[in-house]
Amino acid sequence: MWRPHKPSEKGGEKMSSQVRLKLLPSIKCMFDEPIQVKVAGLRPRQVVSMRAKLTDDKGVVFSSSATYRANGNGEVDLKRDPSLGGSYIGVEPMGLLCSMRPLTMHKIYLKTNAINPQVVKFSVHEEEGRLLAEMTNERLLMRDGVTRVPVNEGNICGVLFTPPGKGPFPAVLDLPTSVSEARPSLLANKGFVVLSMAVYNKKGENSTETHLDHFEEAMNFLKQQPKVGSKGVGIMSRCKGANIGLSLAAFVPGVEAIVCINACNANVVTPLYYKKQQILSSLLFDESKFIPTESGAIIIKDALEDPLAEKNKGSLIPIERAKTHFLFAAVEDDLNWDSKAYMDEMVVRLKHHGKENFETVFYPGAGHMLEPPYAPHCPSSFNAGVGKRVLWGGEPKAHIAAEIHLWKKIQDFFKTHLSCDATQNKAKL
């Protein structure tokens, strides 16, 4: 039996007339955990609009809506009932969150400070728009005891997340393209010391070249942390970040495991330097192959030059040199570049050198911007590598499913392949 009560930690509920909106199991949850959205007190078969709205750390407003018909008892359960229209159609328990779109086009959801939870307002409306009930969901990025410390020393500009407890913990270097704290903070919740250092950060490397030494410096800083017990580090990367991650694995000792999401097998956009020497040339985009769209964003998928062409061989990353474990993830609907083809080429290269230190996963229908689950999916935004707004691709339902599966896969992969030695930890102390 449903009874009105004050919002509580064990499931929030708010009354407007006789309509009750519930978020289960709690109005507070971790960002990467699902919730169950239910409504009661409606008229039998009443049609209502369900809405969700949030504002990210950059002030960008995201929202979604879906139409539902109550059952004979006047109830709606997003885990059971299909959306009849709106931002998505069909049974999507977390559809209101994942289908959110920015009110300003071509904006990506950004969490630039993980200390503050993401606040999402859910509401129920009559077809005419009148508000019937609303409830706020606080989605936490840091569990109790996880610490966040900005790091700004030498060539390192990033944020260090450390789990509670004595450790020792395995270490992960997170390489997002731009500053974002959702992935590293959520990974720290799982028992990893994580240093996140964006490829494009405020220290602003010369846009004409990239220096691997800066990221080696970040690796060394991470390994020296008192709670870190792993011999080497793991690397978490996607897109241009994967360029750097793969190059670290190939040229710098100490990378034990690397996750490469939608990676290219060659170094793109800017030449790569190490110890003041160029080690990889750059694979470039042919702007004449950019395809404009009515939205104002472009499609660049077929514009990147062929990395296997003779003139581009100097950009290929010699991943066979790496003494590491690889997890390659690629998608079918990547509009940034052909990540599946590049993944296949890297597998061929490793096999040619007698290597079996890799595993792959492929997601039909998903797009380039795979993130931890339950954030608004980003179909288009500014691409810092080409300096233009681009389409990233991804069919929403397939993309959501891919993010849920991959996030669990990443955690299992790092737990399997990152060693953690308590005696090494004691030696540091």
Cite the active site residues: 239, 334, 368
Geometric angle at alpha carbon 87, from 7 and 121, rounded to 5°: 20
Contact present, 148 and 159 (Cβ < 8 Å): yes
Four-residue CA torsion sign, 162, 165, 168, 170: negative
Q: Phi, psi (5° rounding) for residue 281?
A: -75, 180
**Of how many residues is the chain composed?**
429
Give the number of C-alpha atoms closer than 13 A to the C-alpha of residue 45, restricted to the C-beta side. Answer: 0
What is the DSSP code (8-state) at residue 90? B
Which residues, including other chains, have CB under 8 Å from residue 98's CB and lie 6 or more apart? 92, 373, 374, 375, 376, 377, 396, 399, 400
Which residues, including other chains, have CB under 8 Å from residue 335's CB and lie 6 or more apart? 299, 300, 301, 367, 368, 390, 391, 392, 393
* Pairwise CA distance, residues 410 & 329, whole Å: 10
- Burial class of residue 311 in the structure, from the number of CB atoms within 10 Å of its CB (0-12 exposed, 13-18 middle, 19+ buried): exposed
**CA nearest to 263, candidates 111, 374, 173, 370:** 370
